Amino acid sequence: MNKRERVLTVLEGGTPDRVPGSFWFHFSGEDTEGTRCIAAHLAYYRDCDLDFIKIMSDGLNYPLRVRIARPEDWYNVKPLDRNDPFFTGTLDRCTRLNDALQGECCTFYNMFSPFNIIRERDIFAPEALQGSNDATVMAHLKENEGAVRHAMDVIADDLAWLCENILEKTGVEGIYQSVQGAEVGRMTRSEYRRIVAPSELKIIERSNAVRDHNILHMCSWAGNRNHLLYWKDYPVRVKNWGIGIEGLSLTQAEGFFPEGTVLLGGLDNRRTHPLYAGSVEEIQACVRACVREMEGRPFILGADCTVPGDIDRSHIRAALEALRT
């Protein structure tokens, strides 16, 4: 099998010639721009011999062109013009990278959730901040939930349109949808379903309508455990989560997620664990342990989350070589 056939076989629940694998990190500086970004993705792919590429959205952040001084200001979030540089730049990156690959491997585009976006942009007036952006958003939800939900819904409409166009026009195989906000102690399940889930599911469902080879990344970005139950039934073919932080192993996940779910992961991405800090022997032992744990059942080897950008790339090569020997 070639790389594309191998990944597609797993996505369809079949048995490949071997387990496919890939890892990714955030690009920075000039490697987030134009031609340099395409070249950086390709150089990493070829240097480490990845089975597929996750196209990073670094440098292409959704633009929130508002100033939030009070909760009601979230109603000022408006849809982007369809010729906005955010849209055209994203579509150009995906098209150019897939044109360069000529179908050599599958690509998946990184998409952040609306709830993540509203907590990360520098849009708050100084007098509005209540400690951090995150704390301010949570306070605004208590004061005017409808206004914040309006903003997330507008963003979701924009991102859903973008996903449709990425999947229809650029050669990308699927969307890698990152979701956040289900940390223990943040929201109850009913609150999450009411406040956050609608915007996430809008993007997912419209992506699935084009192609259902999409990935759900349940992000443990803060190092805190999530209520994975909030996301377990999201209609996404591939599930990726923080095995190390969540304490849910590959085999345990088979009984937790709906039947037919394809699992992606196996290796802890944190700096204190073998993928980042271990020897070649330790890394390859971890990979082989994952393969044994799954006992020939189809899955995709990856990490719990984005690996640190300064990881020694020989560690990535070592992990993937263990799948081939």
Token pair of 246 as six digits: 């969540």
CATH class given for the domain over 3-221+228-324: alpha beta
SS3 291: helix
Give me the pLDDT at residue 296, please: 82
Question: Torsion over CA of 66, 68, 74 and 78, rounded to 10 degrees?
Answer: 0
**CB of 254 closer than 8 Å to CB of 263:** yes
Separation of alpha carbons 205 and 207, rounded Å = 5
The reported pLDDT for the residue numbered 221 is: 81
Alpha helix (H) ranges present in 18-132? 34-48, 85-101, 114-120
The whole-angstrom separation of Cα 120 and Cα 1 is 41
**Residue 178 parent element (H or E):** strand 174-179
Looking at residue 269, its amino acid is N
Dihedral pair phi/psi, residue 221, rounded to 5°: -55, -35
pLDDT (0 to 100) of residue 170: 98
Query: What does residue 303 show for φ and ψ, rounded to 5 degrees?
Result: -110, 170
**pLDDT the model gives residue 118:** 98
Three-state DSSP state, 152: helix
Task: Tokens for 137, please give them.
Answer: 């958003």
Strands (E) across 137-268 are located at: 174-179, 215-218, 238-241, 262-267
The domain ranges of the chain are 3-221+228-324
23 phi and psi angles, rounded to 5 deg: -140, 160
What is the Cα–Cα distance from 140 to 131, expressed in whole angstroms?
Answer: 13
Contact 176, 111 (CB under 8 A): yes
Mean pLDDT by 10 residues, the chain (325 residues): 98 96 97 98 98 98 97 98 98 98 98 97 94 96 98 98 98 98 96 98 98 97 92 98 96 95 97 98 98 93 97 98 95
Question: Tell me, what's the pLDDT at 238?
Answer: 98
